[in-house]
Chain A
Amino acid sequence: MLRIVLFLLLFSTYVIYSAVVYSKGTENAVSVDRIEAGKINHGKKLYQQYNCTACHQIYGLGGYLGPELTTAQSDPNRGENFMKALLKGGGPRMPNFHFTDDEINAVISYLKYVDATAVTYKKPTPK
């Protein structure tokens, strides 16, 4: 009986915990206007549709064949133009997806937005 009670207790805690995790502390810290939000959504859709996650990571999610993209926008070694060039023509490892200019801008908008949210990512030791 003790085991059943313990399980139910843990499970109830888990349900409450999940609800809190998704509603508190994960609010959108970066505000964008409607037009920009549309571009970000389009960029995210493309990121998923072309399975960029196979090679790239955002917040540690994804493969390692390509570079991490969470802070690619603000990285002095990379930045917007560098990313645009790769999106346009591919690279030794990256396929050329033949993106249109609109699509490239949408992906860049998405990555800019991700970069803006990455406040803890840029700090060495989170508390």
Chain B
Amino acid sequence: MTTEKKLTDSCTSDKAAKAFLVLALSYLLFGLILGVIGGFQYILPPFLKDRLSFQQTRPLHVYLVIAWIFTGAQAVIYYYIPRIANRPLYWQQGIWLHFMLQLAVSLFIITSFFLGYFGGREYLEFPPVLGLFIFLSWIPFAINFFATLKPNYKTAPVYIWSWSTGILFFFITLSESYLWLFDFFRTNVVRDTTIQWKALGSMVGSWNMLVYGTGIYLMEKTSGNANPARSPVAYFFYFLGLTNLMFNWGHHTYIVPAAPWVKTVAYVISMTELLILAHLIIQWRKMMTDAQKYYHRLPYRLLSFADFWIILNLILAITISVPAWNYYTHGTHITVAHAMGATIGINTLLLFASVFYFIQQVRPNAAERRKKMAGIGILITNIALLVFWLSLLGSGFVKISGKLNNEAFYLIMKKSEPWFKVFTYSGVFVLLGISLLIFASLKALLRKKDL
């Protein structure tokens, strides 16, 4: 019996990690359904307008999908921590306290959206008091992480650095995003906008740190090669990512009348992403050989697809970070394509790689039986996502052309309709593909025994 197997049997926290995964997958399923409803509201304006308007579907979709990303990451980190530390979680009840708080906050947020109570801030569209409860719900997670691992940062692998950074910056950026409650920020629209772009830009970076950490850990485990997590190159790219998390948000503010040096710093930092891109392209060939070797392994397949999306999204990110182009692309669906490529193509696929790894460890027989369903899900998701992504770019270009010709908004919307139809219908297929992954995971996870 391997050490890992022994730990699997003895980790009582695995039950809670499983509960977190089920919660995270439920967020994803409902988040996607609401995304599809929102898509139909683009092509059929009266659709549910009086019962569930876009004013409600968008925040519901955004909140649920974001909640999937951080809850999914937390779930797998809860599973990994005892195995890395080689001891049980420091605070067993803490994980359940976290779960209850997280569930309660979610229910409050969803209810407030249905009842029409909003905070009206981008991403954080719920009433501000609930932000405090989100902050509190993360405390048991942070305690368990740091107290169980007791990280020694002199020797810690990159994923420990990534997760630690993700947790630290989540607390910082969540607090920062509520600075608008003070008059100094609230009464000045430039400062207020700067807060939203700065705090949220870095907050996205903090989730990415959590998710990328899980990806790197998984690469180390599945390939049996410590290089992805401990080589000097790995640390170099971690620090490059950290620098981007801290300073590259400013490329969102080229249009805001904030200090010009902020934009220059952001532009220079954004361009360092070219190094990441070059590195990924160099690694691509090697990875494709490995992908063929491990093709039958679902986690590896998901990691390979995520790599493809990282490359595609980086090219887009670098392009829209050039100030002269950013002026036109900002406020169009090109920005949405970037967001969708990142949340679905990268974060969701990376998280599913960890989900299937988790299932293979705790329910190997069930995982084997769901392999076909999951494989079809992966293919449908990626093909549909590519069509979806391209249609968002298409509607973005229509808007740019409309802006250049000084066309009225309704005319731009009219001309964008064919693209809206493509993104709505391809969105249905993204929902279908990911639903297959969700059901394959849930069916395996919810079994009492691994028959």
A28-B190, A59-B255, A119-B257 given; A64·B247 CB < 8 A: no
Q: Give the docked Cα–Cα distance between A53 and B263 (Å).
A: 24
- Interface size in chain A (residues, C-beta < 8 A): 59
- Contact call A64/B55, Cβ cutoff below 8 A: no
**Chain A CB within 8 A of B94 CB:** no
CB B329 to nearest CB in A, in angstroms, measures 10
- Contact call A14/B246, Cβ cutoff below 8 A: yes
**Chain A CB within 8 A of B242 CB:** yes
Number of A-B contacts (CB under 8 A): 161
- Contact call A64/B333, Cβ cutoff below 8 A: yes
Q: Give the docked Cα–Cα distance between A77 and B193 (Å).
A: 25
66-99 of chain A: CB within 8 A of chain B: 66-68, 70, 77, 92-93, 95
- Contact call B409/A67, Cβ cutoff below 8 A: yes
Chain A residues, CB < 8 A from B42: 65
Chain A minimum-CB-distance residue to B235: A3
CB B153 to nearest CB in A, in angstroms, measures 5
- Contact call B259/A25, Cβ cutoff below 8 A: yes
Residue among A26, A41, A57, A120 with the highest chain B CB neighbour number at 10 A: A26
188-203 of chain B: CB within 8 A of chain A: 188-191, 193-198
Binary flags per residue of A24-50, CB closer than 8 Å to B gives 1, else 0 = 111111000000010011001001111
- Contact call A26/B191, Cβ cutoff below 8 A: yes
Chain A minimum-CB-distance residue to B403: A68
Chain A residues, CB < 8 A from B257: 29, 117-121
Q: Looking at chain B, what size class is its interface with the partner chain?
A: 35 or more
Q: Give the docked Cα–Cα distance between A117 and B239 (Å).
A: 36
- Contact call A64/B196, Cβ cutoff below 8 A: no
A50-B120, A52-B120, A62-B122 given; A117·B189 CB < 8 A: yes
**Chain B CB within 8 A of A108 CB:** no
A61-B197, A126-B323 given; A51·B125 CB < 8 A: yes
Q: Give the docked Cα–Cα distance between A125 and B328 (Å).
A: 10
CB A1 to nearest CB in B, in angstroms, measures 6
Task: Say which residue of B154, B191, B198, B261 sits within 8 Å of A18 (CB atoms).
Answer: B198
**Chain A CB within 8 A of B260 CB:** yes
Chain B residues, CB < 8 A from A7: 153, 161, 239, 242
Chain A residues, CB < 8 A from B59: 51, 54
- Contact call A4/B153, Cβ cutoff below 8 A: yes
Task: Say which residue of B120, B254, B335, B409 sits within 8 Å of A126 (CB atoms).
Answer: B254
A22-B185, A65-B54 given; A59·B118 CB < 8 A: no
- Contact call A28/B188, Cβ cutoff below 8 A: yes
Q: Give the docked Cα–Cα distance between A7 and B161 (Å).
A: 10
A10-B239, A10-B243, A55-B54 given; A65·B41 CB < 8 A: yes
CB A3 to nearest CB in B, in angstroms, measures 6
A6-B239, A58-B193 given; A126·B55 CB < 8 A: no
Beyond A10-B246, A61-B122, A120-B255, 8 additional pairs, beta carbon < 8 A: A7-B242, A10-B242, A14-B247, A21-B262, A37-B187, A53-B122, A58-B189, A59-B253
**6 tightest Cβ-Cβ pairs between the two chains A and B:** A25-B259, A48-B120, A51-B118, A67-B409, A54-B58, A26-B191
15 contacts between A and B (CB under 8 A): A10-B242, A18-B176, A26-B191, A44-B186, A48-B118, A48-B120, A51-B59, A53-B122, A54-B59, A59-B253, A59-B255, A60-B197, A61-B193, A95-B55, A117-B190
Give the interface of A toward B (CB within 8 A): 1, 3-4, 6-7, 10, 13-14, 17-18, 21-22, 24-29, 37, 40-41, 44, 47-55, 57-68, 70, 77, 92-93, 95, 113-114, 117-121, 124-127
